[in-house]
Amino acid sequence: MKRDIYASYNFETENEMIVYIYQVYDKREEQGRLGYFFDIAFMEKFQLTSNLFARDTYYNKKDLIKAVGVKLGGTIYSTSIGDKNIGRIIEILAKDIVKIKLDNIVTLKKGMTLVSPAKYYWKRDGLERRVEDYELAMDYINRHPKYLEQNDKNGLTVKEKKEFYGDGSLFQKDYLWALTEISRGEKMAIRQGTAIFNNIYYVLQILDVNKEWETFVAKVILKNPAWVKVRKGDKIYINGAFGIQQ
């Protein structure tokens, strides 16, 4: 499996992960072989995570590796982030002031800092977000040309900035890909899963907690990079998630 599955979620383990792959035959059929299905088992502290996953779906060899990758990525994400997920923004009250709904029971108090990395759900609105974020970045750079000539205190070096925003960068490739997919309308072949970038994020500080309504109000105190947009629906995490430490 590609190493980026682990790197994306700041996840490391010495525990073994085993993928059981089965080739299925039906003797009543002339060609016999129906396809593959699989189980995934995380050893030691991890329990069996899939009970005959894809029970009703049979894969050819090409699709099998992709399906296993998606399953592993999702499982690693939930295992490594899990209880660090706090909630989501349900309302933008004023400039950089937001209301957040708790999705998990956690102890919060005034003054705590939280983080929200760029997160793209490709099947939902990830394409539009990626396009908008790239255009926001390019607009900011055009208005602040020295941005690419200085290291960020809380972010990228000059070299990393040029690699991230320049021609042929992942950011640009995602932007061009998203534009192409959007132009195809109903014929879109949407990428599976979620993409998370821990070098695009903002930091919040809790202003007030309403335990009765399971909501709290927070202020955005840092945007990295400066062009980052705060959106309704953004997921909020405990400080330290995805390697973001403030």
Tell which residue, 62, 77, 65, has the closest CA to residue 38. Answer: 65
Instruction: Find the helix packing angle between 158-165 and 127-143, rounded to 10°.
Output: 130
**pTM of the predicted model, to two decimals?**
0.67
Residue 126's pLDDT is what? 85
Task: Answer for the pair 36, 68: CB distance below 8 angstroms, yes or no.
Answer: no
Rounded to whole angstroms, what are the CA distances from 37 to 33, 60, 67, 88, 163?
12, 9, 10, 35, 39
Residue 189's pLDDT is what? 59
Residue 56's pLDDT is what? 47
Residue 134's pLDDT is what? 93
Task: Answer for the pair 17, 38: CB distance below 8 angstroms, yes or no.
Answer: no
Low-confidence ranges of the chain (pLDDT < 70): 1-18, 22-62, 67, 70-83, 105, 154-155, 186-193
Residue 47's pLDDT is what? 45
Task: Answer for the pair 156, 227: CB distance below 8 angstroms, yes or no.
Answer: no
The amino acid sitting at 207 is L
Residue 221's pLDDT is what? 95
Kindly report, residue by residue over 115-141, the tens digit of the pLDDT: 999 988 887 888 899 999 999 999 999
E strand or H helix at 96: none
Residue 48's pLDDT is what? 44
Kindly report, residue by residue over 58-95, the tens digit of the pLDDT: 566 667 777 677 666 666 665 655 557 888 999 999 88
| CA gap 246, 240 in Å, rounded | 7
